[in-house]
A and B are shown apart, each in its own frame.
Chain A
Amino acid sequence: MDMKRDYYEDIRLFKSNVVIFWTVVLLIALFTAPLYIDSYNVYLLNIIMVHVILAVGLNILVGSTGQISLGHAGFFAIGAYGTALLMMKFQIPFVFAILIAAFIAAFFGFILGLPALRLEGPYLAIASLGFGLTIMHIIGGMDVFGGRMGVRAPPLDLGIQQLGLTWILKTDVQKYYLILILTILLVVGARNILKTRVGRSFVAIRDSDIAAEVIGVNLTIYKTLAFAVSAFYAGVAGGLFGFVLGFFDPFTFNLILSIMFLVMVVVGGLGAIQGGIMGAALITYLQYDLFKNIAEVPYLGAFLVAVSKQWFTLVGLENFNAMAIGLIMIGIIIFEPLGMFGVWIRLKKYWMTWPF
């Protein structure tokens, strides 16, 4: 049912009218969402979309190229600090500031990509982990970056001050539209990367780097490129994150955050754009919303409170958050290695062949 007859069919953005229809429905829903959801949910959606951008980028690296990174909080931090400081210290307009910051992140991604030429698996994980922690401490140790007391993001001005144009986005809803548009652009961009020569080289490296080299894929270029592209996405996400939050300090970008990013990609589905989107949405929703209010969920909440009183430490139900994320992660790896994307594929097949 998913047969392709030629190359152009493979790289088409929409495979059928049904897909176009649903995409339009989804876009309408997303663009009208602020009309009927409350401001808290708009904030949640903003965070989710920031995480989507990051997860889609991370998935290019982890899922498609097969290189692990535990240092993405570092790129995220570079994006956030870079954008805010470029705007504050050099009065660079937002659009350019976030782009420059993302390119700085990409440059660091390229640097981190160099050891990746020699390192694999756990060793690469250690190297990237070291990178993430180093960035956090360097930023924290220098007064230029606001030190440990953090930085307050400047007003999000879309205009160009030098030309006398100002268009300041103040509310969460206004930021929502900015982030939404960027998210759509970047997700489509990621798809385009993966469907072209570059993307196919990434996948070849993932499947076997020796074989890839033999058929003419330049490992040096494409491995570092994968890191750079992924870091670019993280940089843009970080730049937006700073404005969603309004204030951030170096320890916001800690190791736990890097691990959560990886969890999003693994739970969503490695190597699939939809995987990154679904994983980011699910994990963010669970972490920021459902698990915080789990005690108020009917029946389950009461049950968990009882369990926590009996066996958990003093902290109580909050322990559940980390446990549940861990269990989800283990469960996904054992039962559904393709992640939520795998579930989605099976659901789709089921519906297409229904009632058989």
Chain B
Amino acid sequence: MKLRKKVLFSSVAVLALLALAITAFAAAPIGFDDKEIRIGQWGPQTGPAAAWGNVARGSKLLFDVVNEEGGIHGRKIKYFIRDDMYNPAQTVAVVKELVERQGVFAFVGGVGAACGMAVKNYLAANKIIWVGPSAAYNDFVFPVNPYLFAVYPLYKDEASILTKYIVEKLKTKKIGMLYQNDGYGKDGLSGVKERLATYKMSLVAEIPVEPTEKDLASQILKLKNSGAETVVMYVNPTAAVISLRTSATIGFKPQWVSSNTLSDYGLMYKITGGLWEGVITGAFAEIVDSKHPLMVKYREAAKRLTPEERWGVFYYAGILFADPLVEALRRVGRNLSTEATLKALNSIKDYQSIGPKITWTEKIHQGTDSVQIHKCGPGASSIMLQDWTANDLATWKK
């Protein structure tokens, strides 16, 4: 009796296992059919970097608008956002899931250099196109990866352009630098130094900051003692807030100049308690209240489709990063394939939406070396100081 019971139980269990195994069989589909093109993006919706989750939601707005207008050559875009919590292990998992189960044609955006690095080779091996990572990272584009197309200007180029502006327009003689002690900060530092060398100038102070430091009093004091009139900062938002507050306390009032990673004035103004006013930053997209027709169009669409979302620079960066892919898909036409799309992407020349002009060739997948220069006005408003400017010192173009 007991044996029979066990046999019964065992066979049920084995059958259940088999059933499970069969459901797992589904073959990986290709990225599109007659009705839809599947596009994915990972982004930290929760976890330590959740504040950058709006990039992925910004891309959604673009695809919603495209779909409203009838899609691309009769195909609608089906868009998947996956939360990776800024954790590369989870990025790999969500990307594999999207590629192998959902059958994604391409990825756009994607926050986090480490997250991107964790999936870069996998995407290339599976011939999945990836347009517009939301990080400037040399390893993404040098050497060229045939499936990866970057929109974001490199920090070094930006720093060089900002320095030119400081020397020629602000006429500052004494420039100090506060930089985060990692790839991001050091790229900025090398850009500043390269530009200053052409004027036979040098920094009066170069002060590294560890990303996690919470007390910057000694660094700010060093800057003050160096007599810097302008301070360039390549740091994270927290360090920027602490720097500005510390400076205000000790009565150090230089002209602050910072990278585009801190160009979300609405946010920075709020968390610095208004100290952000007067700060000059680089920018990879038009100003928030720009009259640019595309900006007006997307702003109106955002009000209509996602009224609860704040119209900030990283939200519409999601549009900027995804837009060249939509353009390439339009150029390909009805006969869609990965090869055709790659060809279209490689032939994109001086294409401009709400950011700089993008040019890709077979050999260079870094799309631009241009930034705008903005200044934070009263009440977190944006003032454009200088329109799209390329870095004449950029060596990678040659």
Distance, CA A322 to CA B53, complexed state (A): 16
Chain A positions within 8 Å of B48 at CB level: 251, 254, 256
Are A314 and B86 in contact, with the CB atoms below 8 A?
Answer: no
Give the Cβ gap from B215 to chain A, nearest Cβ, in Å: 15
Contact of B83 (CB < 8 Å), options: A29, A152, A252, A321: A321
- Expressed in whole angstroms, the Cα–Cα distance for A39 and B126 within the complex equals 12
Task: Tell me the bound Cα distance from A351 to B45 in angstroms.
Answer: 44
Interface residues of B in 21-54 (CB under 8 A from A): 21, 24-26, 28, 45-48, 50, 53-54
Instruction: Report A's interface with B, CB cutoff 8 A.
Output: 18, 25, 29, 36-41, 43-44, 47, 137, 140-141, 147-150, 152, 241, 244-249, 251-252, 254, 256-257, 287-289, 292-293, 314-316, 318-319, 321-322, 351, 354
For B182, the chain A residues whose CB sits under 8 A away are 147-149
B309 contacts across to A, CB distance below 8 A: 314
Is the contact region of chain B dominated by helix, strand, or loop, or is it mixed? helix
Contact check: which of A38, A140, A150, A245 meets B89 at CB < 8 Å?
A245
Establish whether residues B24 and A252, one from each chain, have CB atoms under 8 Å apart when the complex forms. no
A251→B21 contact, CB < 8 A:
no
Q: Is the CB of B93 within 8 A of A44?
A: yes
Shortest Cβ distance from residue A139 to the other chain B in the assembled complex, whole angstroms: 12
Q: Contact: A149 with B53, CB < 8 Å?
A: no
- Interfacial chain A residues near B97, Cβ < 8 Å: 40, 289, 292-293
Shortest CB-to-CB span from B16 to chain A, Å, is 12
> In the complex, A246 Cα to B5 Cα: how many Å?
47
8 A Cβ contacts from B46-64 to A: 46-48, 50, 53-54, 57
What size tier do the contact residues of chain B reach?
Answer: 35 or more
The answer, among B21, B53, B83, B118, for a CB contact under 8 Å with A36, is B21
In the bound complex, residues from chain A placing their C-beta under 8 Å from that of B229 are: none
Question: Given the known A-B contacts A251-B86, A252-B88, A256-B85, are A150 and B117 also in contact in the complex, defined by CB atoms under 8 Å?
Answer: yes
Establish whether residues A252 and B114, one from each chain, have CB atoms under 8 Å apart when the complex forms.
Answer: yes
Contact status of A246 and B25, CB under 8 A, knowing A40-B100, A321-B46: no
Query: Which of A29, A245, A322 makes the CB contact (< 8 A) with B17?
Result: A29
Q: Which residues of B contact A321 (CB under 8 A)?
A: 46, 83
- The answer to whether B24 and A43 have CB atoms under 8 Å apart is no
Total A-B Cβ pairs within 8 A: 116
**Residue in A140, A246, A256 whose CB lies within 8 Å of B47:** A256
- Is A247's CB under 8 angstroms from B93's CB? no
What CA separation (Å) do A322 and B96 show in the bound complex?
Answer: 22
Complex: A117 Cα to B321 Cα, angstroms = 54
Give the contacting residue for A137; candidates B87, B118, B121, B212; CB below 8 A. B212
Which chain A residues border B121 with CB–CB below 8 Å? 246
In the bound complex, do residue A249 and residue B114 qualify as a contact, i.e. CB atoms below 8 Å apart?
yes
Inside 8 A of A43's CB, which chain B residues have their CB? 92-93, 96
B183 sits at the interface (CB 8 A): yes
What's the nearest-Cβ distance from chain B to residue A291, in Å?
A: 9
Answer yes or no: B199 CB below 8 A from chain A CBs. Answer: no
- Asked if residues B100 and A246 are in contact (CB atoms below 8 Å), the reply is no
Q: Tell me the chain B residues, 144-182 only, with Cβ under 8 Å from chain A.
A: 181-182
